[in-house]
Amino acid sequence: MLERDIKIAKSMANDIIIPNPAPKLVGDAFLDIYSKLEHILVKDSVRCFLRFFENCEGQGMSSYLTITTQTLTFIVSFNALRCAKVVLEGMAPELYGMHANPNCINKYGYFVLHEAAERFSVDMIKLLLRHGASANVRTVGNDVIENLLPLHVAVENTCLHKYLEDNLEYNLSRSQNHLDYVYKLIHLLCLPEMKIFLDTTRLLAEKTNNVLQELCNYIEDEKIIQSAVLLLAAQEQIRGGSSSKINGSSKKNGFDLVSNCIMRLSFSLRWEKGSHGMAPELLEERKALTDCAWLLVDVISYAGENLSAYIQAHSEVPNVEVFQHVSSILKEYGFCPTGDPMDAVNLQPYDCRKSNGESCKGLTDANMAVMESANLDAAEEKAVRKKAGGGWDPTYTKRSFFPYWRSVLQDRVPLKVYPAYASSGLSLSNSIVNGSTQTPNHKLGPVRRISPLTSNNQPRRCFIMAASGVIRLLKVLK
């Protein structure tokens, strides 16, 4: 019987998209072991994992001769690469031929590649793709925003980067120059702190079908920052197809198709002139957004390759130098920002060690304090990783710049956990708790950026509490 089961387990394919077959009792059994498993995954110890699996006879971690997707999701959430490799291969004798299918949806409504995209773990994404994970799977169910690709998770979460949120919040319908806004956005995306986020998006875009259509969807939804992230990261795919020569430069077919999409939007807005169906203020705002999209596509179509090459080759360059070099690249192609230069000194990561609820922005000598704190946090992170092993997650880079407590994949989680230093998150939660549904009047702000992806039956209430490690616990107890 055991030999027969092992043969059947080994024959199960990894590239077949299937629903979660594990019964509820298996999920309940996982609750009894997850705390012990957590300690193993923090160290990413294969030996301890296999010993633990064998001792508990796979209870809570296996069902129907496969490793459950709940187990694999938990492993990926800790970025435990070695343990993930073992359960995906299923070659260890302790697993009795069982392995995990990365294309099995979990009970929360998403796939493990969505989890890896949220973690911005390039190595984990590569591992999952090597073992047959599909980048074209979508979220489904009431517990998540539906119809999200892993690519959407990476793009939407990249737009929550602190540098973008701190520097790109205003109303395009007002007096500020929308052209300088686009130049500012491009400068920020070229910073070394953005590289891991762009690399994740690029990797997923390479394996995602119809990337061009996803880009056009973002543009039609007037989501400029998402469009910029996808344009810069996936320009190699967008440049596919035949090329035409414009003013002596190569402009490929993909960018022509995107330009045609924007042209149709522009014509439709021009026809709206004089119509009673749209308020004049809204019409002007949409025209400004269309102008932003025009400039953005034009910049990336011509200067994108040089910008991308610079990002890859200069991952540890001071921000001031990055801004200067990016400006020189833009000017080389005839794009001349006219606004004030970016202030590289005031770019601040999250002060993750802060616990008194104060905002980093209000501190005296904030620049030096933040820089010293960031350096200290980085040193502490390296020491912890060296002591604990390779599974520590989130990494310093993501923890310092990405607000994991507001990630798109966790949007439907009824319990919101905000750290003390997340003042913007607290104010947003308090408005929801108090029953207020008003959002800032800016198309590109942090609230409006995700709204087109959500439906109207969002959770009515958010509960705020300070508890370490509760995000991972929510995924198990949700």
> What's the predicted TM-score (pTM) here?
0.80
**Does the pLDDT value for residue 363 go beyond 50?**
no
For 426, 463, 474, the CA distances from 432, given in Å and listed in that order, are 10, 10, 20
- Alpha-carbon distance of 269 to 254, in angstroms, equals 23
- Alpha-carbon distance of 227 to 234, in angstroms, equals 10
Torsion angle of the four alpha carbons 197, 198, 204, 206, in this order, in degrees rounded to the nearest 10: -170
Q: Are residues 457 and 368 part of one domain?
A: yes
What is the rounded average pLDDT of the residues 197-225?
94
The per-residue pLDDT for range 134-166, each reduced to its tens digit, is 999 999 998 899 999 999 999 999 999 999 988
Q: Are residues 252 and 134 part of one domain?
A: no
The per-residue pLDDT for range 60-78, each reduced to its tens digit, is 999 888 999 999 999 999 9
Question: Residue 176 — pLDDT band, cuts 50, 70, 90?
Answer: low
Q: Taking Cα atoms as reference points, which of 234, 270, 237, 262 lies closest to residue 252?
A: 237
Q: Are residues 13 and 76 part of one domain?
A: yes
The per-residue pLDDT for range 386-402, each reduced to its tens digit, is 444 444 444 556 778 98
Cβ atoms 392, 79 nearer than 8 A: yes
Question: Residue 414 — pLDDT band, cuts 50, 70, 90?
Answer: confident
Q: Are residues 32 and 52 part of one domain?
A: yes
Residue 60 is assigned to a structural domain of this protein: yes
Burial of 307 (0-12, 13-18, 19+ CB in 10 A): buried
For 226, 255, 258, 302, the CA distances from 251, given in Å and listed in that order, are 22, 7, 12, 7
Question: Residue 85 — pLDDT band, cuts 50, 70, 90?
Answer: very high
Higher pLDDT, 285 or 359: 285
Q: Are residues 162 and 132 part of one domain?
A: no
Q: Are residues 321 and 177 part of one domain?
A: yes
Domain of 197? 154-332
Q: Are residues 279 and 158 part of one domain?
A: yes
What is the rounded average pLDDT of the residues 240-261?
63
Q: Are residues 186 and 301 part of one domain?
A: yes
Neighbours of 285 (CB within 10 A): 20
Strand, coil or helix: 286: helix
- Alpha-carbon distance of 433 to 425, in angstroms, equals 12
Q: Taking Cα atoms as reference points, which of 225, 228, 248, 223 lies closest to residue 238?
A: 228
Cβ atoms 218, 154 nearer than 8 A: no
- Alpha-carbon distance of 272 to 269, in angstroms, equals 5
**Does the pLDDT value for residue 224 go beyond 70?**
yes
Neighbours of 59 (CB within 10 A): 15
Q: Are residues 106 and 8 part of one domain?
A: yes
Residue 30 is assigned to a structural domain of this protein: yes
Q: Taking Cα atoms as reference points, which of 330, 348, 345, 344 lies closest to residue 183?
A: 330
Q: Are residues 216 and 159 part of one domain?
A: yes
Q: pLDDT value at position 285? A: 77
Q: Taking Cα atoms as reference points, which of 221, 202, 211, 199 lies closest to residue 241?
A: 211
Residue 210 is assigned to a structural domain of this protein: yes
The per-residue pLDDT for range 252-300, each reduced to its tens digit, is 578 988 988 888 888 887 776 545 566 777 777 788 888 889 899 999 9
- Alpha-carbon distance of 411 to 6, in angstroms, equals 40
Q: Are residues 228 and 301 part of one domain?
A: yes
**Which among 110, 145, 180 is the end of a domain?**
145
Residue 284 is assigned to a structural domain of this protein: yes
**Does the pLDDT value for residue 341 go beyond 70?**
no
Q: pLDDT value at position 457? A: 31
Residue 348 is assigned to a structural domain of this protein: no
* Token reading at 328: 């020189």
Q: Are residues 131 and 57 part of one domain?
A: yes
Residue 353 is assigned to a structural domain of this protein: no
Question: Residue 169 — pLDDT band, cuts 50, 70, 90?
Answer: low
**Which among 312, 332, 352 is the end of a domain?**
332
Residue 52 is assigned to a structural domain of this protein: yes
Count of structural domains within the chain? 3
- Alpha-carbon distance of 192 to 424, in angstroms, equals 24
Mean per-residue pLDDT of the chain: 76
* Token reading at 190: 């070229």
Residue 120 is assigned to a structural domain of this protein: yes
Amino acid at 26: V
Cis peptide before 341 (omega within 30 of 0): no
